[in-house]
Amino acid sequence: MKFRILLLTGFLALFGATTYAQTCAAYGYFTQSGATITFNDTSYSPSGHMSQWSFGDGVYGSGTTVTHTYTSNGTYTASLYIYDSTGNCGDSAVFTVHVNTLSNCNASFTFNPDTPNSAKIHFYGSTLPSGGSASWNIYEGGATHQYTGQYISHTFSSNGSYSVVYTLYDSSGATCDSIDNTIQVYNQSCNASFTSSVDSSNGLKLYFNGNTSPTGGSSAWHVTGNGTTTTYSGQSISHTFSSSGYYSVCYTLYDSSGNVCDSICHSAYVPGNGGSTSGNCDAYFYTTTSGLTATFYDSLTATSTFQWAFGDGSYSTSVHPTHTYSASGTYNVCLFVYDVDSAGNTSICDSFCHSVTVSGGSNCNATFNFVVDSMNTSASSFPVAFYNYSDSTYAYIWNFGDGSSDTSRDASHVYSSSGTYTVCLYLISGLDSSGNSIICDSVCHVVTVGTSSGSSCQASYYLGIDSANIYNLYIINNSTGTSSTTNYYWTFGDGTGSTAQNPTHQYASFGLYQLCLTLQDSVAGCYSTYCDSIGLDSNGNLLKKDGFGITIVDEKDVLNIADSKSIEGVNVYPNPSAGMFTLDLTLKASQNLELDVVNSLGQVVAHKSYFATAGDNKLVLDLTNQENGLYFIKMKAGNQIKNTRVYIIK
């Protein structure tokens, strides 16, 4: 059966809170043949546009016509995002896709290395057919290891690529589907670490000593500072820096086949001649666990400025903290170390993230978020998409608060009237002796539909680069109209999400992901959703086998805008522009004004000095020689500093 759906949506601004002329409109339709969908972009834009698709199952595509085959039955929310860089406008459209033609025999599997034994791999197979069974074949060094069941574990003897076959059988014992995937295994012999020391007679020269490379393997160094990167090979090196400061140093290990098997990056402090050698800006740590409790060990002191993010929405500023998690699982833990200058301004000088796995408690922890589809709302139709982040081994019951329910993992529901509803998700661990469901956990959220959000809240964020860690992105949350009653719902585009206001997240692989933030405030009666594509690729210099991470921070913590006594007001326009900006500044007194332009990598790309008079000043800043992107303008008058951001779009 094939059919077409045509959808016209309203304007959705991109690039954070910046507003553009509403000259783009996202149109689209799709045709369906079973589980295979062909999406077509028929949007309007004045100068042509790029098209990005999110298919709603963690897979993405680009182009005006794309075809995607879903692997499981269900209801999916697919999205089209367009952006016209010349016309400076963007828009989005949402499609609801129903797939119900697939057999319940669909072989697939995921896997994760054990912690701390990364040579031990845990495999998770797809659901068994009714009354059916499953088997595994793992081919290792000429031998075949056979297992049965949906979930298994296997310990490999060495690094390498291995073929893993997962087979499903129906109730009669006949093979109904199988899948053969090749996985890459790295054992514990490949674990990059290094130490550094300062030359006793030259404070600009540092020695670096790495740990041993794998048998038959090799190692390399990348020392980055002042916009240049120097590469070395070998286990131990020395490097003479041109000036004092913090520099990024990365140590990479390669296996016997020349493949990257692990890497680690630290910020190295170079004191310079006559300086102190006690700079402590190293965010590295290691962990021990006991049940649900993890203890973290670092080299920091009580005088350091730092923060821990434990990956479950909890934070700490303690040295060597201990944290107890509420449920078993793998959490992405990050340590951020800050540098405070003489003016009291704070900036991140190093960060390090590491996955920590704890066990001992129940995995029955109900959690979900939701997105109100305001673009497809009518007087009697209010669609909402619900995203379930609970453990996949349980059964589910949704109660939508209007007398309706559902047992899907992720659910979509259309309310027939506006109002506020309490939606609950129940996790079912089994049946009792009477056949009644055993509920092991539940969670409820308030969902408001059909109430105009007005201007009371607006979800928004923009992108920044962590100059101390090239494999971490800062997502700067500049949403407006929030309060203590605002609920935050992040979906990271890889099937996971968070309800923390400023969470951290580690992606398992490089690529493009659709990051969405939804604000919901039942007290203020508002909701707002903002989505954009983020991602990193290796650019041929893959330094971390575990992908990349993001750190979400509040905009005011990044811009560090103080209550300036010298600079009373600043306005920059046009913004965005092709590189020519006009700055209107109001000063309390005539004085020298220093202006630095910093790119998203933390590099100063322009410096200007002016003598500004008391009152209004109009300055012209020419950045036409810079690339497209986000820049920060730092203005200093006396001891006062103001920061603002600009975009260059050519």
Right CATH number for 368-449 from 2.115.10.20, 2.60.40.10, 2.40.160.50, 3.40.50.300?
A: 2.60.40.10
pLDDT > 60? residue 9: no
Superfamily in which the 461-557 domain is placed by CATH: Immunoglobulins (2.60.40.10)
**What is the structure's pLDDT at 193?**
78
Q: For the segment 522-562, what is each residue's pLDDT rounded down to a tens digit?
A: 666 666 777 766 765 544 333 333 455 565 656 555 544 33
Structurally, at CATH architecture level, domain 7-99 sits in Sandwich (2.60)
Can you read off the two tokens belonging to residue 43?
């949007």
The answer to whether 176 and 129 have CB atoms below 8 angstroms apart is yes
Region 343-358: what's the mean pLDDT?
69
pLDDT interval class at 17 (50, 70, 90): very low
Specify the CATH number of the domain 109-185: 2.60.40.10
pLDDT interval class at 117 (50, 70, 90): low
pLDDT interval class at 6 (50, 70, 90): very low
Contacts of 556 (CB under 8 A, 6+ apart): none
Name the more confident of 237 and 404.
Answer: 237
Contacts of 540 (CB under 8 A, 6+ apart): none
Can you read off the two tokens belonging to residue 359?
């066990």
Q: Find residue 168's DSSP bridge partners.
A: 134, 177
Task: Give the distance, in angstroms, between the CA of residue 343 and the centroid of all CA atoms in the same chain.
Answer: 32
What's the Cα-to-Cα distance from 534 to each of 277, 450, 503, 512, 531, rounded to whole Å? 38, 30, 16, 6, 10
Amino acid sitting at position 401? G
pLDDT interval class at 573 (50, 70, 90): confident
Can you read off the two tokens belonging to residue 479?
């949403």
- What counts of helices (H) and strands (E) characterise the chain? 1, 51
Closest C-alpha to 39, from 90, 94, 89: 94
ω into 576 cis (within 30 of 0): yes
Alpha carbons within 13 angstroms on the beta-carbon side of residue 309 total 23
Name the more confident of 448 and 298.
Answer: 448
3-state DSSP assignment of residue 521: strand
The answer to whether 459 and 530 have CB atoms below 8 angstroms apart is yes
* Burial degree of 126 (CB within 10 A; 0-12, 13-18, 19+): buried
Q: For the segment 176-223, what is each residue's pLDDT rounded down to a tens digit?
A: 889 998 887 765 467 777 888 888 888 888 899 888 777 778 899 988
Dihedral-angle region of residue 602 (phi above 0 means left; psi in -120 to 50 means alpha; beta otherwise): left
Contacts of 96 (CB under 8 A, 6+ apart): 75, 76, 77, 78, 376, 383, 412
3-state DSSP assignment of residue 614: coil
pLDDT > 90? residue 224: no
Closest C-alpha to 135, from 105, 168, 159, 173: 168
3-state DSSP assignment of residue 380: coil
- Distance from C-alpha of 59 to C-alpha of 388, rounded to nearest angstrom: 17
Quickly tell me which residue has 């893959």 as its tokens: 542
Region 590-595: what's the mean pLDDT?
82
Q: Which residue ranges make up each domain of the chain? A: 7-99, 109-185, 194-261+270-276, 280-361, 368-449, 461-557, 561-648
**What is the structure's pLDDT at 548?**
56
Quickly tell me which residue has 């329910």 as its tokens: 405
Secondary structure of the chain: what % helix, strand, coil (to 5)? Answer: 0, 55, 40
**What is the structure's pLDDT at 165?**
94
In CATH terms, is domain 280-361 a member of 2.60.40.10? yes
- Distance from C-alpha of 44 to C-alpha of 49, rounded to nearest angstrom: 9
- Distance from C-alpha of 209 to C-alpha of 194, rounded to nearest angstrom: 5
For the chain, give the mean pLDDT.
75
Alpha helices in 111-216 (DSSP H): none
3-state DSSP assignment of residue 375: helix
The answer to whether 520 and 527 have CB atoms below 8 angstroms apart is yes
Region 127-147: what's the mean pLDDT?
88
Beta strands in 42-106 (DSSP E): 50-54, 60-62, 65-69, 74-84, 89-99
Share of the chain above pLDDT 70, in %: 76
- Distance from C-alpha of 327 to C-alpha of 427, rounded to nearest angstrom: 14
Dihedral-angle region of residue 116 (phi above 0 means left; psi in -120 to 50 means alpha; beta otherwise): alpha
**What is the structure's pLDDT at 10?**
32
- Distance from C-alpha of 256 to C-alpha of 395, rounded to nearest angstrom: 45
Task: Give the distance, in angstroms, between the CA of residue 446 and the centroid of all CA atoms in the same chain.
Answer: 26
Residue 255: how many CB atoms within 10 A of its CB? 23
Asked whether this chain's domains 280-361 and 461-557 adopt the same fold, the reply is: yes
- Distance from C-alpha of 129 to C-alpha of 138, rounded to nearest angstrom: 22
Q: What are phi and psi of 274, to 5 degrees?
A: 90, -5
Specify the CATH number of the domain 561-648: 2.60.40.10
Share of the chain above pLDDT 90, in %: 6
